[in-house]
Chains A and B, each alone.
Chain A
Amino acid sequence: MKKTAFTALTMIALLALLVGGCGTPVPTAAPTTPPPPEATTPPEATTPPEPVIGTTYKLGFFSSITGPTSSLGVPERNTAEMIAAQLEEAGGVTGPDGVIHPIEVIIYDDESNPEIAATVASRLIEEDEVDAIVGGSGSGPSLAVVPLMQEAEIPYVSMASSRSIIRNPETAETYKWCFKTPQENFHSGGWQAAYVEGMGWDQVCDIYSNDGYGQDCLAQTTAAMTEKGIEVSYSDSFEPADTEFPQIASVVASGCDALVIGAVPPGAALVTVAAREGAPDLPVVLGHGVCNATMISAAGEAAEGTVFPCGKMMYADGLPDDDPQKELLLKYREDYMAFTGEGPEGLSTFGGHAYDGLLWVVEAMGSLEEGLDVTARRAAIRDYIETNITDWPGTGGVFNVTPEDHLGLTYEALGFVKVENGTWVYFPPEEW
């Protein structure tokens, strides 16, 4: 009797704790189910002028809303919710035949975990039967879902940078169904090598996070440096949960001229701080993965003077007026801040990657005729992205997607910046 009472008490206490915890706003994995009223297929013959509501299209979305790469996944999720809200307001997209199609955006959290990414992707494909998928904040989760997309024949746009997402690294064959929007470590590596060369250094060290993204950073940095005759004399990985950084001792011992860090915050911030403590005079060069406010807030003073390539999002107002991306970038920034209620510190290039990918798919959906089944829609969306995204200004650059290149960006997509007084300053080669 007494025991039962106690158990009950325990349960109540635990519940109270849970409720208390739930009071704070928290990113959830729950799918947001926005617009569609009932997707009623209209009677065909008797439909003269008034707008006709056609099939509801389903757009699957997943990002790392929680876990180590949530600094990427949260702005991406916000962007997806923003686009869902804009589509709801507009009622959907209008096809070439004048039929309006509401678009349902289904959002999941992959918890920064490739296995969970594969699970939610399967759910989107099999249970939700979506027409296209945009997702994957990190290269790890994205690479994990590529085989699923290829097998199920779903158009997939990744928001992560690894080239292996769109091209088989062994056969160099482009994956038919996979696209991506972010600039790449390949572009980053090119900038880093150009900077190191410009400064007249000939030996660098590289510390990278022990995951798909970090390994790709190392590979691309090494390739770009080697091409310019610069030696990567020491490289080692780290874990985001590390508390000591024995790597720095090796960096000092190796006598390299600069340290390249291939990681995203907060891991990149931890290494930057450790490098500044252990080797205060060693220049630090980062990758474009650190272009968000988390880096500066987490590394503080240690971020000062670090340099890295960075998408134009963060300093869009400083771009010349004839820049083809400027107008779009300013519009995205404004919309995003209005939607989330955050200040400019909430902006990141990652949200932009989601924006580009989602807009590709939405534009492709707008090209579909009424009456296609889901398989035909999937094929048509894929074909549209591959052939019609040309000279297409996005937040990440001016895209020219081709059957061989499912990204379609060149060097100009990235700029080069330096951290000064806690903010990014445009740092073009003339000023090096």
Chain B
Amino acid sequence: MQNIVRTRSARIGATVAAMVLLVAVVLYLGHAKGFGAIQYVQLVLDGIRGGSIYALIALGFVVVFNVTGIINFAQGGFVMSGAMLAVAFNNLDLPLPPALQLALAVVFGVAGTTVIGALVERLTIFPARHSHTLTLIIITVGVYIFMQGMALLVWGANAYNLPAFSSLALEDQILRSGGIMLKAQSLWIWGTLAVVLVGLYFFFERTILGKALRACAINRRAAELMGINPSRMSLLSFAMAAALGAIGGVVLSPATRPIYDMGLKLGLKGFIAAIMGGMVSSPGAVVGGILLGVLENVAAGVTRAGFKDIFAFVVLILILLFRPQGIIGGGERGVEQ
């Protein structure tokens, strides 16, 4: 008992020391570049925005992993498909007021991708459901490559635009205060994340279907014995993951330029965020995503932006080495399992 306490306090001490060192290094590098408080606040704000998108994507990874044990690398494809479908719909020449058309485009992007997610499960995962998990994971990699290829065929290699939700134009409204700027789209992104989290909470806690999903996650065999059909749950988890990814892609679109290959990097970042959160925990995925976004953006800001992805992957390696159960919580199931 004492031993455990001692190792735990040693571990906390080491973590605190590492964090102090990290902050010191960041401040030192920032000082060399002439950063003031404004720059740090700006970097953190932008990081939270990017991180919120990672969080939405990570939630999709968690839902599928919990129910099926699969790491779904097609998740990035769902992000791209949500964004591209919304753009395609919004670019249609319809006699609708722009706000309504954009709203419908968002719904179309998310709904269309949800259907794609369900199709992916039925057409690729379901037929191979008796295979080893590793086989299924590789199938999802194949699905991603297929989706990216299809997007290239349909939309070509051009970068597209989706108007900002507030201004309904290419240029977003920008809130400025004391040298800090905040895009209105950031507020949409955070609002969306909050609504999604509340929605997921009610779904998992208050509905039979949500409880069935959780039962599947806790013990698949026992859930099956209770009359829950695991293949239906698998279908549901993929559809949900697709919807979550698409929501991320759609709200992100006005802040970037959607393009057929945007899913790869976003998918990988979402995966890192999910790993940071322990792969099984939804709150963990959200914290992981935001933490990753901030870390990445601040680190890139004080060093060189070209190193951004290096930081993300260093985080991935460190987490897998030292905290495979995730940063928060002592999740008893993790990727090590």
Which residues of chain A have a CB within 8 Å of any CB of chain B? 3, 6-7, 10, 13-14, 17-18, 21-22, 24, 26-27, 66-68, 70-71, 112, 210, 234, 236-239, 241-250, 252-255, 266, 269-270, 277-278, 294, 297-298, 300-302
9 further A-B pairs in the complex, CB-CB below 8 A; given A243-B266, A246-B43, A269-B257: A21-B153, A21-B154, A241-B262, A242-B256, A244-B47, A247-B301, A269-B159, A278-B181, A301-B169
What B residues does A241 contact at CB under 8 A? 259, 261-262, 265
B153:A10 contact, CB within 8 angstroms = no
Interface of A is mostly: helix
A244, B181: Cα distance in complex, Å: 13
Minimum distance in angstroms from B93 CB to a CB of chain A: 16
Asked whether B320 is an interface residue with its Cβ less than 8 Å from the other chain, the reply is: no
Q: What is the CB-to-nearest-CB distance from B83 to chain A, in angstroms, rounded to a whole number?
A: 11
Q: Does B152 contact A (CB under 8 A)?
A: yes
- Scoring B123, B174, B293, B308 by chain A CB atoms within 10 A of each residue's CB, the highest score goes to B123
Question: Are the C-beta atoms of B53 and A243 separated by less than 8 Å?
Answer: yes
Which of B39, B47, B53 is A252 in contact with, Cβ under 8 Å? B39
Check if B183 is an interface residue, CB within 8 A of chain A.
yes
Per-position binary interface string of chain B over residues 221-262, scored 1 when its CB falls under 8 Å from any chain A CB and 0 otherwise: 000000000000000000000000000000010011101011
CB–CB B157/A237 < 8 A = no
Complex interface: chain A residues within 8 A of B13 (CB):
none
Instruction: Report the nearest B residue to A246, measured CB to CB.
Output: B301
- Residue from B36, B127, B158 with most neighbouring chain A CB atoms (10 Å): B158
The interface centre, meaning the residue of A246, A254, A301 with most chain B CB atoms within 10 A of its CB, is: A246
- Bound Cα distance A288, B266 (Å): 31
Residues of B within 8 A of A301 (CB): 169-171
B153 proximity list for chain A (CB < 8 A) = 18, 21-22, 24, 26
Say whether B150 contacts A246, CB under 8 Å. no
Q: List 18 A-B contacts (CB under 8 A).
A: A6-B127, A10-B123, A10-B124, A21-B153, A66-B156, A70-B156, A237-B304, A239-B306, A241-B261, A246-B300, A247-B301, A252-B39, A254-B33, A270-B256, A297-B161, A298-B161, A300-B169, A302-B171
If the complex has contacts A237-B305, A301-B171, are A250 and B127 also in contact, measured as CB distance less than 8 A? no
9 closest pairs, A vs B, by CB?
Answer: A246-B301, A300-B170, A266-B159, A21-B153, A70-B157, A249-B39, A237-B306, A66-B157, A253-B34
Determine if B183 and A277 form an interchain contact, defined as CB atoms under 8 angstroms apart: yes
A243 to chain B, nearest CB (A): 5
We find that the number of chain B residues with CB closer than 8 angstroms to chain A is 53
Residues of B within 8 A of A277 (CB): 172, 174, 181, 183
Cβ contacts under 8 Å, B154 to chain A: 21, 24
Contact A13 B171 (CB under 8 A): no
Q: Is the CB of A266 within 8 A of B257?
A: yes
Helix, strand, loop or mixed for chain B's interface? helix
Mark each residue of chain B from 258 to 277: 1 if its CB lies under 8 Å from any CB of chain A, else 0. Answer: 01011001100000000000
* A21 with B150: CB separation less than 8 A: yes
Which B residues are in CB contact (< 8 Å) with A6? 127
Task: State in angstroms the CA–CA spacing of A384 and B294 once bound together.
Answer: 58
Whether, in the assembled complex, B75 has its beta carbon less than 8 Å from a beta carbon of chain A, the answer is no
Q: Which residue of A lies closest to B301 (CB)?
A: A246
Confirm or deny: B42 has a beta carbon within 8 angstroms of a beta carbon on chain A. Answer: yes
Separation of A300 and B254 alpha carbons in the complex (Å) = 13
Choose from B43, B127, B156, B159 the contact partner of A7 (Cβ within 8 Å): B127
Nearest CB of A to B207, in Å: 30
Return B111 CB to nearest CB of chain A, in Å.
18
Q: Are A278 and B42 in contact (CB-based, < 8 A)?
A: yes
B203 at the interface (CB under 8 A from A): no
Q: Measured between alpha carbons, how far is A67 from B152 in the docked complex, in Å?
A: 9
Bound-complex Cα distance A243 to B35 (A): 21
Contact with A along B125-143 (1 / 0, CB 8 A): 0010000000000000000
Complex CA–CA separation, A80 to B230 (angstroms): 56
Given contacts A237-B305, A244-B46, A254-B33, contact A3 B265 (CB under 8 A): no
User: In this complex, what residue of A is CB-closest to B126?
Assistant: A6
A24 partner residues in chain B, CB cutoff 8 A: 153-154
B102 CB → nearest A CB, Å? 16
Give the docked Cα–Cα distance between A266 and B256 (Å). 10
Q: Would you call A254 and B34 a contact (CB within 8 A)?
A: yes
> CB-nearest residue of chain B relative to A299?
B170
A208 vs B141: C-alpha distance when bound (angstroms): 32
B34 touches A246 (CB 8 A): no
Partner of B305, one of A14, A112, A247, A269: A247
- List, in ascending order, chain A residues with CB within 8 A of B256's CB: 242-243, 270
Do the beta carbons of B255 and A243 come within 8 Å of each other?
Answer: yes
- Known contacts A17-B150, A250-B301: does B35 contact A244 (CB below 8 Å)? no
Q: Which residue of A lies closest to B306 (CB)?
A: A237
B42 near A71 (CB under 8 angstroms)? Answer: no
Among candidates B35, B124, B157, B297, residue contacting A67 with C-beta atoms closer than 8 Å: B157
**Cβ contact within 8 Å between B50 and A243:** yes
In the complex, residue of chain B having the shortest beta-carbon distance to the beta carbon of A279: B181
Complex Cα distance, B42 from A33, in Å, reads 55
A274 to chain B, nearest CB (A): 10
Q: Tell me whether B152 and A14 are in contact (CB under 8 A).
A: no
- Complex alpha-carbon distance, A154 and B297, angstroms: 47
Residue of B nearest to A233 (CB): B34
Distance in angstroms between the alpha carbons of A428 and B17 in the assembled complex: 59
On whether the beta carbons of A236 and B158 are closer than 8 Å, the reply is no
Please state if A236 and B304 are interface contacts (CB–CB under 8 Å). yes
Q: Please, how many angstroms separate the alpha-carbon atoms of A234 and B33 in the complex?
A: 9
Q: Smallest CB-CB separation from B154: which chain A residue?
A: A21
B159 CB contacts on chain A under 8 angstroms: 266, 269, 298
Would you call A244 and B297 a contact (CB within 8 A)? yes
